[in-house]
């Protein structure tokens, strides 16, 4: 099968190397990105490692659907894996539609310019109607459902770890452990230490936009919004230990709330150390997290993009990050008339990831599921015309591949719950 991968950052580097390991599915790959030298360097690394995949590279501006169409027409892939930024989702989906090629991504669309008037008006209406204020929501991508169906192509949205694996865990829990799920707590713990005073583990702009926003959770069919970091809990994570975690808005809540309407409450928590939070608050207070351009010496600059240029490249954190991540979901529900609670999670070691692929665990835990989702669409197991999230397919082959490709999972049938 021929795969076109767009983007060559931290997540892409893992996804592409994992595709190379899966030689039954991925025989040909084109690595295309804004900075083609990164694609060339990765091609050389993979060829040196002796993987039998044939790789070419290309330059693409994925903000421009027609430029993506050009690369698709030249390369003729069976599918496109988008591991660029959420800003490019719709342009790449448009190109896939025009060329009738399957589409896969790891993150929900959000606009780069949040002051653009047409988008802003729709956003403000949605905030009022739906009750959450995150810049991203699924409506823009779900709107492609009929067009993808008519074209006979599959759109698989959000096949990273969270979203992605956490949604597959939910489908798996429902299939094998519950007649009804009542509550879901998604817990994302990074117990890793990179030794910098402040750095983000994936694209700083996307990461800081997400964690500085209001929190929210889904309860009884509607959103409950909180101030940023308003809800804090401590949890003792298997293989990591006790960590403070904070309630955030997160994209899989929207899809799970829609696709599992019986679930009464869905929350998402992420761990942060005090130093990270202090730095973030300070940067926010001085305006460095703003997405609105300001004039500086006659030029327009976007403060958060300037900050990104100052911070360490997440792809460079691999050699210095030690410790483990633990990401998973605690489900409470009912089976055969009895209440039960289970916790499905994966533990991933930063240094083990670095030894295997030269990446830290955040890129690894996102890149492996990106390969798995793509492989399942290409093999046909998850091919279904339309646009879907990962909780809408049979979870079993995905769960098997997590074990096979480096993200083994555990089911704890007697976990401590989050208060
Ligand atoms: P990086 O910033 O490291 O990489 C992004 C890549 O996309 C870079 O190679 C960049 O090019 C390229 N790119 C950016 N804009 C364009 C464009 N207009 N045209 C072509 N290429 C472009 O990001 P990450 O690897 O950390 O993240 C990748 C994606 O994964 C993001 O969407 C992120 O939100 C998502 N993610 C999902 C997670 C999940 O669990 N679901 C977790 C973590 C991340 P250049 O090299 O020139 O900058």
**Ligand 1 mean position, distance from CA 350 (Å):** 20
**Ligand 1 mean position, distance from CA 252 (Å):** 19
Whether the Cβ atoms of residue 80 and residue 6 lie closer than 8 Å to each other: yes
| Residue 358 parent element (H or E) | none
Of the candidates 319, 378, 295, 83, the one whose C-alpha atom is nearest the C-alpha of residue 192 is 319
List the pLDDT tens digit at each of the 419 positions of the chain.
999 999 999 999 999 999 999 999 999 999 999 999 999 999 999 999 999 999 999 999 999 999 999 999 999 999 999 999 999 999 999 999 999 999 999 999 999 988 899 999 999 999 999 999 999 999 999 999 999 999 999 999 999 999 999 999 999 999 999 999 999 999 999 999 999 989 998 888 888 888 889 999 999 999 999 999 999 999 999 999 999 999 999 999 999 999 999 999 999 999 998 889 999 999 999 999 998 899 999 999 999 999 999 999 888 899 999 999 999 999 999 999 999 999 999 999 999 999 999 999 999 999 999 999 999 999 999 999 999 999 999 999 999 999 999 999 999 999 999 99
Nearest C-alpha to atom 11 of ligand 1 is from which residue? 34
d(CA 58, CA 54): 14
Instruction: For Cα atoms 291, 125, 158, give the angle at the middle one, nearest 5 degrees.
Output: 65
d(CA 154, CA 210): 27
Q: What is the DSSP letter of 136?
A: -
**Ligand 1 mean position, distance from CA 115 (Å):** 22
Is the omega angle on the peptide bond into residue 163 within 30 degrees of 0, that is, cis? yes
Helix (H, G, I), strand (E, B), or coil: what is residue 218?
strand
Half-sphere exposure of 406 (CA within 13 A, CB side): 28
Closest atom of ligand 1 to CA, residue 365: 40
- Residue 11, ligand 1, Cβ within 6 A: yes
Cβ neighbors of 275 (< 8 A, separation 6 or more) are: 197, 198
- Residue 60, ligand 1, Cβ within 6 A: yes
Q: How far apart, in Å, do the first and last CA atoms of the chain sit?
A: 47
d(CA 407, CA 389): 20
- Residue 366, ligand 1, Cβ within 6 A: yes
**Ligand 1 mean position, distance from CA 58 (Å):** 16
- How does the average pLDDT of the chain come out, rounded? 96
Task: Note the pLDDT of residue 125.
Answer: 95
Of the candidates 289, 113, 107, the one whose C-alpha atom is nearest the C-alpha of residue 205 is 289
């Amino acid at each position: 099968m021929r795969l076109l991968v767009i983007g060559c950052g931290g997540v892409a580097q893992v996804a592409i190397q994992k595709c190379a390991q899966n030689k039954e599915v991925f025989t040909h790959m084109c690595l295309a990105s804004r900075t083609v030298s990164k694609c060339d360097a990765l091609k050389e690394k993979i060829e040196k490692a002796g993987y039998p995949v044939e790789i070419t590279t290309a330059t693409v501006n994925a903000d421009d659907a027609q430029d993506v169409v050009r690369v698709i027409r030249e390369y003729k892939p069976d599918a496109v894996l988008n591991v660029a930024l959420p800003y490019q989702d719709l342009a790449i989906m448009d190109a896939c539609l025009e060329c009738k090629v399957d589409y896969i991504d790891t993150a929900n669309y959000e606009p780069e310019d949040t002051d653009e008037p047409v988008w802003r008006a729709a956003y403000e209406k949605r905030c009022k109607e739906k009750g959450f204020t995150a810049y991203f929501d699924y409506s823009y991508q779900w709107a492609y459902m009929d067009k993808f169906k008519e074209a006979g192509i599959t759109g698989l949205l959000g096949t990273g770890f969270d979203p992605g694996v956490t949604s597959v865990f939910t489908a798996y829990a429902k299939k094998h452990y519950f007649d009804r799920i009542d509550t879901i707590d998604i817990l994302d713990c990074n117990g890793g230490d990179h030794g910098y005073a402040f750095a983000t583990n994936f694209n700083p702009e996307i990461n800081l936009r997400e964690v500085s926003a209001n929190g929210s959770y889904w309860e009884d069919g509607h959103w409950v919004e909180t101030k940023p970091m308003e809800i804090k809990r401590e949890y003792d994570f298997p293989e990591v230990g006790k960590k403070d975690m904070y309630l955030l808005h997160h994209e899989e809540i929207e899809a799970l709330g829609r696709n599992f309407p019986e679930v009464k409450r869905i929350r998402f928590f992420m761990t942060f150390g005090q130093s990270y939070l202090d730095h973030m608050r300070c940067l926010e207070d001085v305006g460095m997290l703003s997405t609105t351009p300001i004039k500086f010496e006659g030029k327009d600059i976007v403060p958060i993009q300037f900050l990104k240029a100052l911070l360490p490249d997440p792809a460079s954190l691999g050699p210095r990050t030690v410790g483990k991540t633990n990401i998973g979901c605690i489900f409470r529900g009912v089976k055969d008339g009895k209440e039960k609670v289970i916790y499905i999670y994966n533990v991933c070691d930063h240094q083990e990831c670095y030894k295997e692929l030269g990446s830290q665990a955040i890129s690894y835990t996102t890149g492996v599921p990106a390969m798995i989702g793509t492989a399942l669409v290409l093999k046909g197991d998850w091919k279904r015309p339309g646009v879907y999230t990962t909780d809408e397919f049979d979870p079993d082959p995905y769960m098997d591949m997590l074990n096979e490709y480096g993200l083994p999972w555990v089911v704890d049938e007697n976990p401590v719950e989050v208060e």
